Structure 1
Amino acid sequence: MTTAPASEHRRAPETERGALIAELATVRAALITTPRGLSDAQAAERPTVSALCPGGLIKHVASMEQGWMRFAVEGTAAMKYDLPEGVTWADIEAGTAREIPQWMIDHENGFRVLPGEGLAGIIAGYEDVAARTEEIIASVPDLSATYAAPEAPWEEGGSRLSVRGVILHVISETAQHAGHADILREAIDGRTAT
């Protein structure tokens, strides 16, 4: 993963793909710099009223980036949110579903540091995802290619997403979570990434 100084990322890249990769590297660096110096126990702390912890944020961002890059390469089929037979999205949202799909359990665990996980391993996993993402951005045939949005309540029905739009979404979400990480870090020990 590219973690060059911010001043290097501000140089104008020669291509659109280079600009996307550079911006993603900048927001990634902000996210992984924030928990630097925390112990594994501190990286698992939830110091605010939310369920977020520094290590879990990095896991979540890595997982979502990986999913969206699969979407960029494979299209809609790469992001299926199947529900058990007889369960509806309304049941899930109301908390009345008799069975929770495994992908939802995995998604929730993506916000937590689980037993046996450490911050260094979480960051290394994110760096692997980042390297693959940079390969995809550099090589995907058409940034303008569009696919139907995955079927889920958080996606507008019938909408289409371009590969470019998905990459911009990943950049935006990473930046937003870097800000969350700063808040969490400050609540843990009074420090921030800045």
Structure 2
Amino acid sequence: MEPNNPATPAPVLTGERADLLETLAKHRGFLRFTANGLTDEQAGLRTTASELCVGGLIKHVTSVERNWASFIVDGPSVMGDFHNMTEEDFARRADEFRMLPGETLAEVLENYAEVARRTDELIASVPDLDAAHPLPSAPWFEPGRTWSARRVLLHVIAETSQHAGHADIIRESLDGAKTMG
């Protein structure tokens, strides 16, 4: 730290926000742990009947967290129009679930860490966890529903946890490592 440019200390969180972010950090850690020691090639391997790979799952969770954090700030317009998705939109979404040529696991993990940092800062600073936006129009959302910042964060926790479990199975199928057991 430069003497003439003191950093603002991060707020110390307590209560609900601290609990939510601690839970999210725990499940992020489980997901990241599944990638420990993997090469870029291994991170992109499908080891089960599914199309999923460890690196692709981390990319997907990164995208999900980034999009939902943007939703907290800017509402449903950042989510896109799910009813009018093109083949290109579906292909781009499918690419979230795999390691593409030239992508490295280190870059994927770095992107995830940056998104996690920004989400944590947002949750620490958002004035009201009850602030809500209408959900975007999508076949999987009930029309007219709204989600608060709190509900969005709970969704991100659930998504991260679910995909950490998927990644654990993929990793165990790859080399026998049991990252959660």
CA contact (8 A) 1:47 1:187 kept: yes
Give 2:48's aligned residue.
Answer: 48
Q: CA deviation at 1:136?
A: 0.6
- For 2:69 and 2:90, how far apart are their aligned partners in 1? 19
**What residue ranges of structure 2 are gaps of 5+ in the alignment?**
1-12
What is the DSSP-based 3-state SS (H/G/I as helix, E as strand, rest coil) of the residue aligned with 1:161?
strand
Is 2:100 the partner of 1:105?
no
Cα-to-partner distance string for 1:154-174 (whole Å, 9 max, x where unaligned):
111121111100000000110
1:70 matched to 2:85? The reply is no
Cross-structure match for 1:28: 28
Q: Give the length in aligned residue pairs.
A: 168
Kindly state the Cα deviation for residue 103 of structure 1 after the two structures are TM-superposed: 3.2
| CA displacement at 1:83 relative to structure 2 | 5.5
| Unaligned ranges ≥5, structure 1 | 1-12, 85-91, 93-98
- After superposition, the CA RMSD in angstroms is 1.5
**Aligned partner (choices 104, 107, 120) of residue 106 of structure 2:** 120
Residue identity opposite 1:180 in structure 2: H
The answer to whether 1:163 aligns with 2:181 is no
Counterpart CA distance in 1 for 2:173 and 2:69 is 32
Distance 1:157 1:56 in 2: 30
Question: Among the aligned pairs, what percent are the same residue?
Answer: 48
Contact 2:130 2:150 in 1 (8 A): yes
**Partners of 2:76 and 2:136 within 8 A in 1:** yes
Normalised to the residue count of structure 1, the TM-score between the two structures is 0.82
Aligned positions of 1:108-187 closer than 5 A: 108-187=94-173
Kept in 2, the 8 Å contact 1:81–1:103? The answer is: no
